[in-house]
A and B are shown apart, each in its own frame.
Chain A
Amino acid sequence: MNPKMLPVLNVPVKYHIEPVPPMDRPRRFLEAFAAVLRHSNYGFLLDHFSRMGAKCAMCAAECPVYQVTASDADVPCSRSELVLKTYRRHFTAEGRMMARVLGTPPLSDADIDKMTEAFYRCTACRRCNLQCPMGLDHGLITHLGRYLLSEIGIAPKALVVSVREQLQGKSGNTSAIPVPALLNTLEFLEEDLKEKFGKDIKFPVDQEGAEYVFFPAVSDYLLEPDVLMGMAAVFHATGDSWTIGTGNFDGINYGLFYNDRHFEAIVKREVAEWKRLKAKKMLIGECGHASRTAKAFIPVFGGDYKPEVVNVLEYTDRAIQSGKVKLRKDVIKERVTYHDPCNYARSGWIVDQPRRIIRSFIQDFVEMEPHGKENYCCGGGGGTVSIDEMREFRTMVGGKRKAEQLRATGAHYVIAPCANCKKQVKEVIEDHKLDMELIGLHDLILRAIEL
């Protein structure tokens, strides 16, 4: 079905970047590009994509950003061309020869400025991949483009600061939560659970040999107590052993969004904590990118250690299907809809599980159209939700299609499990003045679980 093109609106994207020393940016960019090509597999990718592009713009029709801006700059294939043309011009014999014949200018500062904006207008939702007849993954080119920019110091400060604290800071997590604060929070949540259920429901800490070591988005400890309590209640019902590790309790990996080196380092820290605690499996919270980075990239970066990665929605779904978790059907009476986080829905990994959970206890559930693998991004994907100065673009451009979907459902609650989607959808609801409430799935489970 062809969605109506929304009224055209364009908002420039600017984000704070930490100061870098003056440099010859094109030269440094090309040096970084050469180094990346030498040590990675991106060259092979770029060769293939260069030859395959049909320039049909089928990708544009699927892109939630293009559907609002109708700007050539937001056509995924056009954006990928920023990297591809640089690759061909500077790193292929054919391209260098054609440049001599046609007088094609080399990479310039203006090109880098274009990339600086273009690659952060993209939410890396990879919806464009669904319709590209050539099978090109423009999200992967966005990933590469951001990586190259980061190697010359161009990366959103919001992401850099978080990664710096996670990799080099005292706390070792993106929200700078020290261990004593974590322990206080967990104690408080245990008291809350005791008050609610009259039972001792624990958040085990540093238990060796547990079935699962738990990595939520660390911001859940600050912002989503009900989600955490919901998960603890599920574990209490199943009786499976789990633990939170004080060595590393942050599943967030912003390296995915801008730099492969940090991406790898953060994955390795997760594996190290799993190893330290001698756990059998890794349990990731509701967060989309935390789940994807663990599931898909521990096998890549984990070396000899490749723990099984389970998302908590899979876990809870299995627990309900097996009868270990029972949810009361009379608690949630309002209409509910569900937002599919791109990072685990696009691949089809987590699509059916949350729906089975929802249908097991919620009477009035309505789908957004499209949903599942074909979902629309919340508008804050690719780490852009963490960039506060991009809010207007995120909610009024990237999130506009999502706002239309939400409005069309008439739902009171929208379940957005992913931590990043939660923040973004909350802001979409506020900025578009939607009469609905954002909630996590385990928040609702907490209300309905029978213990």
Chain B
Amino acid sequence: MDTLIQFGRGPLFRFAVVVALLGLARYVVLSAWGLRRARQRAGDKRLDFGAVASRTFTVLNPFRYLAGNRAFYTALSVLFHFGVILVPIFFAGHIRLWRRGIGLGWPALPASLSDWLTLLSIATGVLLLIARAWYPASRGMSRPQDWLLPPLIVLAFLSGYLVAHPGSNPFSLNLVTLVHVGVCDLLLILTPFTKIAHCVMLPYSQYVNEMCWRLVPGAGQEVLKTLGKEGQPV
């Protein structure tokens, strides 16, 4: 089991990080390229970057959704994201590993705050899954990744908590460490292939909408020609 743990923390982790970073970088580049191309073809190339950026920040503001019709679900999601974003980056144990591995470190969250955020992520992750199953509209259209990602994330946080708190851990430390490392590596690898990629793609959405509503002049006639329907009446 030690060998597996070392593999998961070493080569597999490095592979997972590379897959995640390259995969996300690919989306960033493809999105920027796609926007550029869309703008070149669009009939109206003016783009008020400021106004679209303002809309982007409005959409990114999680608290605005509390005024909508699913305020409870929104609150769960906001709390979930706090832990999911802050703990992996600012947990002291992780920073120690980065410092050991690549010589880079940064300020850490206080241990008690990390603990609370971890427990919050676990609780809200479970509740989000229940909320997804309870609300008919989301239940009906959920895909395998929508059901599998929350439990994986919860498992990552739960195993991480148990690793950091041996006194609370009813299982063997090695087993829990292996689960934690394995699940986190899996989540990193899945990042560019699942909706987790929204972490880099979300800022593009308003620009995509803006440019894609600027339809391409003449496209309709070209479609007609391609389909061999030129000259056909309305």
Q: Report which A residues bind B (CB closer than 8 A).
A: 1-3, 31-32, 35-36, 38-42, 44-45, 47-48, 51-58, 60-62, 66, 70, 72, 75, 77-78, 81, 130-137, 140, 151, 160, 163-164, 167-168, 259-265, 296-297, 299-301, 303
- Would you call A47 and B220 a contact (CB within 8 A)? no
Provide the residues of chain A in CB contact with B212, threshold 8 Å.
41-42, 44-45, 137, 140
- Would you call A168 and B234 a contact (CB within 8 A)? yes
Provide the residues of chain B in CB contact with A72, threshold 8 Å.
136-137, 140-141
The winner among B204, B212, B213, B219 for most chain A CB atoms within 10 A is B212
Provide the residues of chain A in CB contact with B227, threshold 8 Å.
31-32, 35, 151
Q: Tell me, yes or no, whether B165 is within 8 Å of chain A by CB.
A: no
Q: Tell me, yes or no, whether B197 is within 8 Å of chain A by CB.
A: yes
Per DSSP, are chain B's interface residues mostly helix, strand or loop, or mixed? helix
- Would you call A3 and B69 a contact (CB within 8 A)? yes
24 pairs, CB–CB < 8 Å, chain A vs chain B:
A35-B227, A36-B219, A41-B216, A42-B212, A44-B212, A48-B201, A51-B198, A52-B195, A52-B205, A55-B146, A55-B195, A58-B73, A72-B136, A72-B137, A75-B137, A81-B141, A130-B68, A135-B202, A135-B209, A140-B209, A151-B223, A151-B227, A264-B220, A300-B215
Provide the residues of chain B in CB contact with A167, threshold 8 Å.
234
Given known A-B contacts A39-B223, A61-B69, A134-B202, A77 and B141 have beta carbons under 8 A apart: yes
* CB-CB nearest in chain A for B206: A135
B166 to chain A, nearest CB (A): 36
Stretch of B31-39, B88-96, B167-175 on the interface side: B31-39
* CB-CB nearest in chain B for A262: B234
Q: Tell me, yes or no, whether B135 is within 8 Å of chain A by CB.
A: yes
- Would you call B213 and A140 a contact (CB within 8 A)? yes
* CB-CB nearest in chain A for B67: A1
- Would you call A261 and B220 a contact (CB within 8 A)? yes
Provide the residues of chain A in CB contact with B214, threshold 8 Å.
41, 300
Provide the residues of chain A in CB contact with B220, threshold 8 Å.
259-265
Q: How far is the CA of A408 from the CA of B129 in the complex (A)?
A: 36
Q: How far is the CA of A261 from the CA of B229 in the complex (A)?
A: 12
Q: Report which B residues bind A (CB closer than 8 A).
A: 27, 30-31, 34-35, 37-38, 41-44, 46, 56, 59, 62, 65, 67-71, 73-74, 77, 132, 135-138, 140-143, 146, 195, 197-198, 201-202, 204-206, 208-209, 211-224, 226-227, 233-234
Provide the residues of chain B in CB contact with A297, threshold 8 Å.
43, 215
- Would you call B68 and A58 a contact (CB within 8 A)? yes
Q: How far is the CA of A173 from the CA of B62 in the complex (A)?
A: 46
- Would you call B223 and A32 a contact (CB within 8 A)? yes
Provide the residues of chain A in CB contact with B56, threshold 8 Å.
135
- Would you call A47 and B34 a contact (CB within 8 A)? yes
Provide the residues of chain A in CB contact with B27, threshold 8 Å.
51
Q: How far is the CA of A130 from the CA of B58 in the complex (A)?
A: 10
The winner among A42, A61, A133 for most chain B CB atoms within 10 A is A133
Which of B38, B138, B140, B146 interacts with A44 by CB under 8 Å?
B38
- Would you call B74 and A58 a contact (CB within 8 A)? yes
* CB-CB nearest in chain B for A167: B234
- Would you call B41 and A164 a contact (CB within 8 A)? no
- Would you call A2 and B198 a contact (CB within 8 A)? no
Q: How far is the CA of A47 from the CA of B29 in the complex (A)?
A: 13
- Would you call A300 and B234 a contact (CB within 8 A)? no
Which of B208, B219, B224 interacts with A45 by CB under 8 Å?
B208
- Would you call B41 and A41 a contact (CB within 8 A)? yes
The winner among B68, B74, B146, B222 for most chain A CB atoms within 10 A is B68
- Would you call A300 and B138 a contact (CB within 8 A)? no
A297 to chain B, nearest CB (A): 7
Q: How far is the CA of A39 from the CA of B27 in the complex (A)?
A: 23
In order of increasing CB-CB distance, the 7 nearest A-B pairs are A261-B220, A135-B205, A300-B43, A57-B137, A61-B69, A57-B138, A60-B137
Q: How far is the CA of A234 from the CA of B134 in the complex (A)?
A: 55
Provide the residues of chain B in CB contact with A61, threshold 8 Å.
68-70, 137
- Would you call A51 and B140 a contact (CB within 8 A)? no
- Would you call A48 and B217 a contact (CB within 8 A)? no
- Would you call B215 and A164 a contact (CB within 8 A)? no
Given known A-B contacts A44-B212, A52-B201, A167-B234, A35 and B43 have beta carbons under 8 A apart: no
Q: How far is the CA of A333 from the CA of B71 in the complex (A)?
A: 39
- Contacts A41-B212, A41-B215 aside, 7 further interface pairs with beta carbons under 8 A come to A2-B71, A39-B226, A42-B212, A51-B198, A78-B140, A167-B234, A259-B220
Q: How far is the CA of A383 from the CA of B153 in the complex (A)?
A: 44
